[in-house]
Amino acid sequence: MRALDLIAISDIYADVHMLSDFVSTLGEMGRENRVIIVAGDMGIKATSRHYTQDVNHVLSLLSTVCKHLFYLPGDSDDREFEVTIPNAINLDKRNHIVEAEDVKVGLLGLGGAPTHSVRSNEPVTYLWDESIPFIAEGQSTELKINIEKVMHEHPDYIILVTHSPPYGIADRSKSITLREMVVLEDLLEELKYEGKPEEKEVTKRVPRGPRHLGSKLLREFVKYYKPDIHIFGHVHKEGGKAELDNETKFFNVSHLSSLPYRLTGRKFLTMKLTRENMSVSFNHIVRSGLPFHDFIEAYL
């Protein structure tokens, strides 16, 4: 029996060069049997003058190598924006059923991220404060309505897609802000001049201990409804990590981003689903065949 191919990624930040490598890695062969899920942060609304064009460019590239393309906005995305890609479907507070290769999959999603997962001065655009009861209840109600609709269709798998992790699952990190991610690029440049006295010194910051950045309302929702699979991003430190808790398999797919891990990043989740079982792996798009100098420039 042929399997349904499902690819999941997150935290792209309109990096078209990296995304082009990813698309080339997948190729068009098998696209009719492929589903791609993007769990948020396709672009950066707060700092881009061409945000809508950036996101449509990202989705356009991905649409060429799959039949079904599902996405939702992350904390750095706009809540609502016009998408002109025919096979791209927004999962934020929505649900959808996919049937392919005798496998029936139900999907539902929630975009954005809880306010406690970023710093207060961060220029993000899609946050929700789950410490406010009516906001938490509203988000939970949206999820409950959508999973009930999905369950009514009796799919072989129920897949929850969110940008935020659930609390306590692949969510341990210091708060890495968008500004800090940009600064990391500058620090990498600084390292090229290490030991050269004419260059200015780089002040080393004292690291803070890791903390949980995930959503408690998502944790409670998953604990009660037990979807088969939960896919999310947002916390880069835990990108590429899979966990099993009770009956749900959790996957943090934020490691497609090359920041802050230029070499160990660029990972994406591949799942092959049949009615009887699933096989899962994290693959990467680091081009090992590059000449040494080009490899250093690209990844270190």
Would you place residue 206 in the very low, low, confident or very high pLDDT band (cuts 50, 70, 90)? Answer: very low
pLDDT value, residue 259:
59
pLDDT value, residue 202:
44
Three-class DSSP labels, 93-125: CCEEEEEECCEEEEEEEECCEEHHHCCCCCCCC
Would you place residue 45 in the very low, low, confident or very high pLDDT band (cuts 50, 70, 90)? Answer: very high
Output the average pLDDT for the chain: 85
pLDDT value, residue 208:
52
Instruction: Round to whole Å and give the CA distance between 54 and 254.
Output: 19
Instruction: List the single range of 44-48, 137-141, 190-194, 243-247 with lowest mean pLDDT.
Output: 190-194
User: Which of the two residues, 256 and 271, has the higher pLDDT score?
Assistant: 271
pLDDT value, residue 18:
85
Q: In the predicted model, is pLDDT for residue 265 greater than 80?
A: no
Would you place residue 27 in the very low, low, confident or very high pLDDT band (cuts 50, 70, 90)? Answer: confident
DSSP 3-state assignment of 179?
A: helix
Peptide bond into 260 cis (omega under 30): yes
- Residues of the chain with pLDDT > 90, as a percent, come to 59
